[in-house]
Structure 1
Amino acid sequence: MKRYSRRVLTCLTALTLVVTACQKPEEVPVPPRLLPREKMVSLLIELHLLEARTEAAALPQDSARALFRQAQKDLYWRHEIDDSTFVQSYRYYAIHDKDLDDIYSTVVDSLSLREVKLTTSSTPPPHP
């Protein structure tokens, strides 16, 4: 999970730098259907867990990509949003660096907490 967290943070940092280089925060209007931060956090957590499960499935790359995309569509459907709403909201938060930093701080904390819970619950108790 640590390797996964570093990879995610590296990719997101690169994405943020690319997006912020293109436009300034004052140039980006608020999308008409901006997802609230709490919903973005929830979606991002689920998306990263979905990506980890897809990678762990050890499928060929094209099969894994197809599986991920279908599961991603199902996730959006369950949350009653479409992919363009998610992308526009992500882009808006990415342009506003502090917003995305706050969101990802919560995402990383949540994923780290889940990792700790998984590792402690799978470790057998010590014998007296």
Structure 2
Amino acid sequence: MRILNTYYAFALAGIFAACNPTDASHRPDKPDNLISEKKMTSMLLDVHLIEGARSGVRVLGDSANVDVYYQGLFKKYDVTQGQFDTSFQYYSHYPRKMMAMYDVVIDSFNLMEMKIAEEEKRQQR
């Protein structure tokens, strides 16, 4: 449950950052290399997994720098850090889109938590 609370905190921080009042005339133009909403949602899920693991002294029991995990993330999704940053900035000007993406992220974490709880129950039997 503590892990889930950490994820909620990250998700809410992202949502609040995305909800800054924005005048429609000051919204950025859609970047040519914009990451699709579906791909961005998957990336946000992985970003929060990395950040959740990072809250400990070591990431998943090793001593690798967290940058290694972000490099792996960008490679996994075949995007650059700049492309991710630009896309995140673009979507942050559209709170409804960003909230829809985070709804999926939160639902995914809830599903993960349920699966872990089920597995723990099976192991205790």
TM-score (structure 1 length as normaliser): 0.79
How large is the RMSD of aligned CA atoms in angstroms?
A: 2.4
Q: Give the Cα separation in 2 of the matches to 1:98 and 1:106.
A: 13
Partner of 2:45: 45
Task: Number of aligned residue pairs: give it.
Answer: 119
Q: Give the Cα separation in 1 of the matches to 2:86 and 2:114.
A: 32
Structure showing the higher helix proportion among its residues:
1
TM-score (structure 2 length as normaliser): 0.81
Q: Give the Cα separation in 2 of the matches to 1:126 and 1:49.
A: 26
Specify the SS of the correspondent of 2:122: coil
1:100-123 CA-partner distances (Å, limit 9, x unpaired)? 011110111011101110111112
Q: Give the Cα separation in 1 of the matches to 2:39 and 2:25.
A: 24
Q: Give the Cα separation in 1 of the matches to 2:102 and 2:10.
A: 10
Q: 108-117 or 8-17: which moved more?
A: 8-17
Q: Give the Cα separation in 2 of the matches to 1:115 and 1:82.
A: 30
Partner of 1:29: 29
Specify the SS of the correspondent of 1:38: helix
Question: What 5-or-longer segments of structure 2 have no aligned partner?
Answer: none
CA apart distance, 1:74: 1.5
Percent same amino acid at aligned positions?
Answer: 19
Partner of 2:7: 5
Mapping 1:1-128, distance limit 5 Å: 1-17=3-19, 20-21=20-21, 23-27=22-26, 28-56=28-56, 58-59=57-58, 67-124=65-122
Q: Which structure ranks higher in relative contact order (CA pairs < 8 Å, sequence separation ≥ 6)?
A: 2
Q: Which runs of 4+ in 1 moved over 6 A?
A: none
CA apart distance, 1:47: 1.2
